[in-house]
C-alpha cells in the first residue's frame, strides 16, 4: 500500500456563520494516492493509511495506534486495528475483528467500546491498549431500533461510568403512513428513537428499560462528544429534509436547500431539541413549525424547545465531533470543537470538510470556520459522485495530533501543528 507524505499549509480566510467561499484557493489534485488538504498556516497533514474500508469513527490509543469502526464489513470484519510497529509514522500492520458493522468506537479506562447498528459491545484491553480477547466481547446494550436508515449508534462516555448512545429516526418527521402528510401529535416514535439514551458501562445486556431517556427531539446524531471542561454532553444534529418533496406548496427547491439548519446542542438530562414538531431556520434564526404539524414555512413554532448552541448551514451532515484537549495546537484551539462534515451545503456549494468552533468558558465564543478542506478533490460540487473523500470520524492522539477518517475511500489522515 503506497503512502506519501502530504504537507500543505494555507491561510484560511475568516468566515462567518454562513461564510462565503468565493475566494477560496482551489487545490490541485496530484496523481497517485496523495491528497492535498487546505489547512491554516502552520499545520500539516499526512495520509497515514488508505483503503481501510468504510472508516466511520476512530479511537487512538496512548501508543498512537488506531481502532477504526467500519460502517460496512471488510473481509467479514467490522473493526480494524492499525499500528505503526517501527515508529516511522506509517501504518504497517492491520488486524481485524468483530463481525458487525457500525459507527461508534471509544477507549475508556481499560476497555474498547464499539457499537453495531442495534447494540453496544466492550472489549478488555491490556496495558498496551490492545484487545485481549477479540472474539469474545461483552454485550452491554442490546435491542436498539434499527430500520436501516440513519441507524448509527454513535457513543460517548463520561467520567462517572455512563455511556451515551444515539438512536436516530429512520423517517424525517413522524409520518407513519407512506402517503401521509400529517403526523400524529404526540409522535409515538419518540419513546425509542430521535434521542440520546444513557446506560451504565458495567452492566451486561441492557435494554431500553435499563437506560435513561437522556434527551429527546433529535432527529439523528452521528457526531457527539463528552466535554470534560463543562462535564456535559454535546451533540451535532442532522436536520430534516424533504420540505419541497412533500410540501411544494410551501417550499421551493431553493428553500429546501437552506432549511433547516444543522445544529449543535449541549445536552442535560431532560433536554428537548424539538424534533419532529419543529426545525431551526438558520436564515430567520428561530424555530419554525414543521409542515407535518400545520406549518407553512412562515409559522413560528410555539412549543418549548432548547435553543441550539451553534447553527450551521443545511445538509452539511455533521458526522464527527471532537473537543480539543491536547496541548500541541495554538491556544486558539484549546477546548474548542472540531466537526467533520460529511455532506454538501447547496447554499454554500461547499462541504466535505472539517470545521472548528472556538470555545470559552464552555460556550462557543465565535463563528465557525473551515479548518481542513480539500478532501473532496474537486471544485465542481454539483455532482457528489465525483467526491473522493468524505470526512467522518475525529480523534486526538497522545501528542495532540488530530486524526480524521474517511468512510468513502477508507483514508486516515493525521494533522499536526509544525509552527509558523
Position 86 scores a pLDDT of 85
| Within a domain: 75 | yes
The count of other CB atoms within 10 Å of the CB of residue 359 is 23
**How far, in Å, CA of 286 to CA of 300, rounded?**
7
Nine cell digits for residue 111:
476497555
- Domain carrying residue 258: 43-417
For the domain that residue 68 is a member of, what is the CATH number?
2.120.10.30
Q: Are 214 and 269 in contact (CB under 8 A)?
A: yes
Position 18 scores a pLDDT of 34
**How far, in Å, CA of 249 to CA of 121, rounded?**
46
| Within a domain: 12 | no
Sign of CA dihedral 117, 124, 157, 162: positive
Nine cell digits for residue 344:
454538501
Position 20 scores a pLDDT of 29
Strand residue runs (E) in 171-254? 195-200, 212-216, 221-227, 232-237
* CA distance readout (Å), 112 to 108, 310, 361: 7, 31, 30
**How far, in Å, CA of 112 to CA of 122, rounded?**
5
| Within a domain: 23 | no
H or E element that contains 256: helix 253-258
Nearest to 47 by CA among 399, 341, 389: 389
Give the long-range contacts of residues 123-129, CB within 8 A, separation 24 or more. 128/61, 128/63, 129/61, 129/62, 129/63, 129/65
Strand partners, 79: 69, 97
| Within a domain: 270 | yes
| pTM higher than 0.75 | yes
Q: How would you write the pLDDT of the chain (420 residues) with one tens digit per residue?
A: 433 333 333 322 233 333 322 223 222 222 234 447 999 999 999 999 999 999 999 999 999 999 999 999 999 999 999 998 887 777 889 999 999 999 999 999 999 999 999 999 999 999 999 999 999 999 999 999 999 999 999 999 999 999 999 999 999 999 999 899 999 999 999 999 999 999 999 999 999 999 999 999 999 999 999 999 999 999 999 999 999 999 999 999 999 999 999 999 999 999 999 999 999 999 999 999 999 999 999 999 999 999 999 999 999 999 999 999 999 999 999 999 999 999 999 888 889 999 999 999 999 999 999 999 988 776 555 655 567 789 999 999 999 999 999 999 899 999 999 886
If DSSP states are collapsed to H, E and C, what string results for 292-339?
A: HHCCCCCCECCCCCCCCCEEECCCCCEEEEEECCCCCCCHHHCCCEEE
Give the count of domains, the chain: 1
Position 419 scores a pLDDT of 86
**How far, in Å, CA of 278 to CA of 298, rounded?**
12
Position 379 scores a pLDDT of 53
Position 34 scores a pLDDT of 42
| Within a domain: 27 | no
Give the 3-state secondary structure of residue 253: helix
Amino acid at each position: 500500500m503506497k503512502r506519501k507524505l502530504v504537507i500543505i499549509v494555507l491561510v484560511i480566510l475568516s468566515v462567518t456563520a454562513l461564510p462565503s467561499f468565493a475566494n477560496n484557493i482551489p487545490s490541485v489534485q496530484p496523481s497517485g494516492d496523495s491528497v492535498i488538504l487546505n489547512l491554516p498556516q502552520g499545520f500539516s497533514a499526512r495520509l497515514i493509511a488508505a483503503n481501510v474500508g468504510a472508516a466511520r469513527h476512530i479511537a487512538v490509543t496512548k501508543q498512537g495506534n488506531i481502532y477504526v469502526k467500519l460502517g460496512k464489513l471488510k473481509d467479514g470484519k467490522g473493526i480494524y486495528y492499525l499500528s505503526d510497529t517501527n515508529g516511522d509514522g506509517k501504518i504497517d500492520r492491520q488486524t481485524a475483528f468483530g463481525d458487525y458493522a457500525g459507527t461508534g468506537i471509544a477507549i475508556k479506562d481499560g476497555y474498547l467500546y464499539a457499537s453495531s447498528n442495534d447494540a453496544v459491545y466492550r472489549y478488555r484491553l491490556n496495558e498496551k491498549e490492545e484487545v485481549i480477547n477479540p472474539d469474545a466481547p461483552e454485550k452491554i446494550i442490546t435491542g436498539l431500533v434499527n430500520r436501516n436508515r440513519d441507524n448509527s449508534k454513535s457513543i460517548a462516555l463520561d467520567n462517572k461510568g455512563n455511556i451515551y448512545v444515539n438512536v436516530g429516526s429512520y423517517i424525517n418527521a413522524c409520518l407513519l403512513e407512506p402517503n401521509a402528510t400529517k403526523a400524529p401529535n404526540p409522535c409515538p416514535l419518540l419513546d425509542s428513537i430521535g434521542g440520546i439514551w444513557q446506560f451504565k458501562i458495567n452492566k451486561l445486556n441492557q435494554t431500553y428499560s435499563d437506560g435513561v431517556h437522556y434527551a429527546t427531539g433529535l432527529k439523528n446524531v452521528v457526531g457527539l462528544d463528552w466535554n470534560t471542561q463543562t462535564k456535559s454532553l454535546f451533540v451535532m444534529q442532522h436536520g430534516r429534509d424533504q420540505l419541497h418533496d412533500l410540501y411544494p406548496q410551501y417550499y421551493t427547491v431553493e428553500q429546501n436547500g437552506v432549511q433547516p439548519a444543522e445544529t449543535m446542542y449541549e445536552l442535560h438530562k431532560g433536554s428537548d431539541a424539538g424534533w419532529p414538531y419543529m426545525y431551526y431556520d438558520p436564515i430567520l434564526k428561530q424555530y419554525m413549525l414543521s409542515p407535518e404539524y400545520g406549518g407553512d414555512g412562515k409559522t413560528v413554532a410555539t412549543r418549548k424547545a432548547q435553543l441550539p448552541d451553534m447553527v450551521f448551514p443545511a445538509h452539511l451532515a455533521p458526522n464527527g465531533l471532537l473537543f480539543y484537549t491536547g496541548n500541541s495546537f495554538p491556544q486558539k484551539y484549546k477546548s474548542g470543537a472540531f466537526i467533520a462534515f460529511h455532506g454538501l451545503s447547496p447554499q454554500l456549494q461547499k462541504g466535505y470538510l472539517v470545521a472548528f468552533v472556538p470555545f470559552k468558558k464552555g460556550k462557543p465564543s465565535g463563528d465557525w470556520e473551515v479548518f481542513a478542506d480539500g478532501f473532496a478533490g474537486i471544485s465542481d460540487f454539483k455532482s457528489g459522485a465525483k467526491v473522493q473523500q468524505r470526512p467522518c470520524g475525529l480523534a486526538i492522539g497522545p501528542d495532540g495530533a488530530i486524526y480524521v477518517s474517511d468512510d468513502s475511500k477508507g483514508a486516515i489522515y493525521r494533522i499536526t501543528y509544525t509552527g509558523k
